[in-house]
Structure 1
Amino acid sequence: MSTTAVDNFTDVIRSRRSARAFLPDPVPADDIRGVLEDAQRAPSHSNTQPWEVHVFSGEARDQLSNAMLKAFEAGQMSPDFTTTYGDDDSVHVQRSQRAGAALYGAMGIARDDADGRTKAVAENLRFYGAPHVALLFVPELGDVVRAANDVGMYAQNFLLSLTARGYHGVPQGMHGLFADAVRAHLGLPADLKLLYGISFGTADPEAPVNRVAMGRAPLDEHIVLHDTSL
């Protein structure tokens, strides 16, 4: 592989950002199809390809948003998967708290502003103004963890393809909290489990929240090398 290809690939990975404010301009249909074709190339266990993806635009997008907001306002959460990060003092909780503080700070929402935080959470279900959203489902298989991992690789392809085309997306676990409402709205069976959504479009360059850059832990916090020459 050429140095240019490697550099381009690295640039795409490192320039990917999760936008949380979008312009209303729709993504051309050809670009959406191209993103879906790229995502479809994701690896999966024994090539099972255990993802079902629903993409919403226009009126269908608005109707989905309304259904999720209605469930949110009624307190009707029904996640198919757990949403905890471990003990309160775990490194995962600490990372989540730092991320939340940075995002709420960029939006000018104080820690004790309960109303502001509730409104910010609701923006998840308005897809941060994005013109499109994809919901990623996985069938209820014997090993759901393995299948969910495959869907994660699909999602990464999806996000990187958006980035390469000049668009942005944001994975949103919040969507998975309203799985029953989504299934009822779409007429889907109970054994099709909702993992999360990806809102996507063109990021609003003027939104302060889009200027928040989330850091990553150094490699030695995650990687154990068993070859001292590396």
Structure 2
Amino acid sequence: MMDQSQSFHDLVRRRQSVRQFLAQPLEATQIKAVLEDAQRAPSNCNTQPWHVHVVSGATRASLTQVLIEQAEKASYSPDFSWDETAFPGRLDERRRAQGKAYYEALGIAREDKAGRHEAILRNLDFFGAPHAAFLFMPSVGDGVRVAADIGMYAQTFLLSLTARGYAGIPQTLLGLFADPIREHLGIPDEMKLLFGISFGYADPTALSVAPMPRAAIGDSSVMHV
């Protein structure tokens, strides 16, 4: 039991949001193994509401072009509202600290609008990852419960990638282009896009961004006895 606990302790700390990947794709069997792990995620009443579409190869390349075209026109179609400036207090402080650390690692100054724009577009090329998984969900009530299930699926997916020596990054930005992604992949309108995960092999030559600090347990948890 001690060995298993230590392994999990190490695993969750090895997982990082990677923003530069090798072009080398995973084999279909490797992707299937990750999907099988993620399928073990818990869900309300075992509904397993996730609908996951993985793009690779030519489909991935053509979708990137579609997304960049939409971004250049500022044509967004999120299924769920999003305002990154609406986080209160400490949450906004953490958001700003992450952005500052990332752009500093890239050597992009705050006033460099062109550089920042190019950095944002790298999201839509999946940071060079050969694969991306789009997490869709059905509309049930206000969607919060189903979205929570999708979150548990995504974390299981990401931990499976890490455990197998791969890497991934969840991307909210991909969820802002729900309509063109649905159209490109032939997905019905009733399936709503929450976000995507780019994944593959991490590029060991990528610029290093120090792991972002985590809040103290006392800031987020209360023990009642």
Residue 209 (structure 2) pairs with residue 214 (structure 1): no
Structure 1 residue 86 displacement after superposition: 6.1
Count of residues in Structure 1 that have an aligned counterpart in Structure 2: 225
In structure 2, the residue matched to 1:38 is 37
Secondary structure of the structure 2 residue equivalent to 1:7 = helix
In structure 2, the residue matched to 1:108 is 107
Alpha carbons of structure 1 residues 29 and 187: separation in structure 2 relative to 1, 3 Å: closer
Secondary structure of the structure 2 residue equivalent to 1:188 = coil
TM-score if structure 1 supplies the norm length?
A: 0.94
Matches within 5 A, 1:149-228: 149-208=148-207, 210-227=208-225
Structure 1 residue 119 displacement after superposition: 0.4
Aligned residue type for 2:206: A
Residue 13 (structure 2) pairs with residue 29 (structure 1): no
In structure 2, the residue matched to 1:52 is 51
Deviations 1:122-162 (A, max 9, x none): 00000000011000011111241000000000000000000
Deviations 1:149-208 (A, max 9, x none): 000000000000000001110000000111111112122222211111000011111111
Please give the alpha-carbon distance, in whole angstroms, between the structure 1 residues aligned to 2:169 and 2:54.
14
Please give the alpha-carbon distance, in whole angstroms, between the structure 1 residues aligned to 2:20 and 2:179.
26
Secondary structure of the structure 1 residue equivalent to 2:177 = helix
Please give the alpha-carbon distance, in whole angstroms, between the structure 2 residues aligned to 1:65 and 1:18.
20
Secondary structure of the structure 1 residue equivalent to 2:127 = helix
TM-score if structure 2 supplies the norm length?
A: 0.96
Contact residue 171 and residue 197 of structure 2 kept, 8 A: yes
Unaligned runs of 5+ in 2: none
Contact residue 60 and residue 130 of structure 2 kept, 8 A: yes
Unaligned runs of 5+ in 1: none
Contact residue 18 and residue 168 of structure 2 kept, 8 A: yes
Residue 16 (structure 2) pairs with residue 17 (structure 1): yes
Q: How large is the Cα RMSD of the aligned pairs?
A: 1.3
In structure 1, the residue matched to 2:140 is 141
Aligned residue type for 1:222: S
Contact residue 85 and residue 92 of structure 1 kept, 8 A: no
Please give the alpha-carbon distance, in whole angstroms, between the structure 1 residues aligned to 2:152 and 2:67.
26
Alpha carbons of structure 1 residues 224 and 88: separation in structure 2 relative to 1, 3 Å: closer
Q: Percent sequence identity over matched residues?
A: 50
In structure 2, the residue matched to 1:68 is 67
Structure 1 residue 107 displacement after superposition: 0.5
In structure 2, the residue matched to 1:122 is 121
Please give the alpha-carbon distance, in whole angstroms, between the structure 2 residues aligned to 1:60 and 1:151.
24
Please give the alpha-carbon distance, in whole angstroms, between the structure 1 residues aligned to 2:84 and 2:45.
30
Contact residue 20 and residue 203 of structure 2 kept, 8 A: yes
Contact residue 55 and residue 132 of structure 1 kept, 8 A: yes
Residue 8 (structure 2) pairs with residue 4 (structure 1): no
Structure 1 residue 27 displacement after superposition: 1.3
Please give the alpha-carbon distance, in whole angstroms, between the structure 2 residues aligned to 1:135 and 1:51.
10
